[in-house]
Amino acid sequence: MFRSQFKHIGLLTRPQTPDIATVIHELADFLRSRYLHVYLDAEYAHTGIVHGQDMQKCRVVEDLGRHCDLILVLGGDGTFLSAARKAAPYRVPLIGINQGHLGFLTQVTREDMLNELSGMLTGKYLVDECLVLEASVSRQNKEIHHALALNDIVLSRGGAGQMIEFEVFINEEFVFTQRSDGMIVSTPTGSTAYSLAAGGPILQTALRAFTLVPICPQSMTNRPIVISDTCEIKILITKAGDARVHYDGQSFVDIQSMDTVILRRYRHNLRVLHPTGYQYYKTLRQKLHWGEQLV
């Protein structure tokens, strides 16, 4: 007999995902046939991507994290990052079903999703407890913006192209001053994204650490550093130009000179569930096109 660990399953996607209505139809039928409750994110449910018959099988809600004990993310890594920020406050686990290309975070393939889910729903999965970054931007000692990120939080110059200047403190201890195009503060999950392209190290997701990676620093002595996830990072922007703070490359806030950005580990990890055949280094080889074993 099929006994699912999860009873309330959310489906989250983006309207522009190719053929996504067909995928939702298959998943809704699969889950309902196992007497599970299916929820759709209201933001996308009424955009025409869901067939009328499927809408009747599912419950449309404003906040999936509040209603579900598992969310299936249908899309690529960008969709997964968006879902992660919504799910993190509720500690709801995510399973990524890849509809995109790269698929670092979405490990279940579209072709094999029903077979994989049959096992995963009954407890046959591997768990990644992923760190989440929390940032607070303050101006004149008043918070003006607050947000989360699964991959990275990036301080960068804007469209005018001027270098920015800032000071970095860790646990209130002054570390360095930098004049550069900006800095990436990355989680282990995000260490294979923008941070890697900027010369940062790859961190296994089980590590409890963050990386600080400069973006085109003026000084050749500025190098990436790795710090404990228990540290609080403070960035004081001394010359902003038209700088911004970006969250997972999907949202941003404009900042001014003498603004302060405080970054720390969010109080909850994000639980990401992988199929039992998932291997971290195999994923790196496949996605980064490293060489295969010689013998």
- CA-to-CA dists, residue 264 to 109, 134, 143, 235, 288, angstroms: 33, 5, 15, 12, 29
Averaged pLDDT, 247-274: 96
For residue 90, the 8-state DSSP code is: G
pLDDT digits (tens, 9 = 90+) for 22-74: 888 899 899 999 999 999 888 776 666 666 666 677 888 888 999 999 999 99
Q: Point out the residues that are catalytic.
A: 77
Q: Is the pLDDT of residue 244 over 80?
A: yes
Structure tokens at 187: 């989680």
Which element (helix H / strand E) includes 210? strand 209-215
pLDDT digits (tens, 9 = 90+) for 167-180: 999 999 999 999 99
- 273 class by beta-carbon count within 10 Å (0-12 exposed, 13-18 middle, 19+ buried): buried
| pTM of the entire predicted model | 0.92
Q: Could you give the CA distance from residue 288 to residue 168 in angstroms, rounded to a whole number?
A: 31
Residue 248: which of 134, 98, 158 has the closest Cα? Answer: 134
Q: Is the pLDDT of residue 215 over 90?
A: yes
Query: What is the distance between the terminal CA atoms of the chain, rounded to a whole angstrom?
Result: 43
Domains annotated on the chain, with CATH: 8-130+269-288 (3.40.50.10330), 133-265 (2.60.200.30)
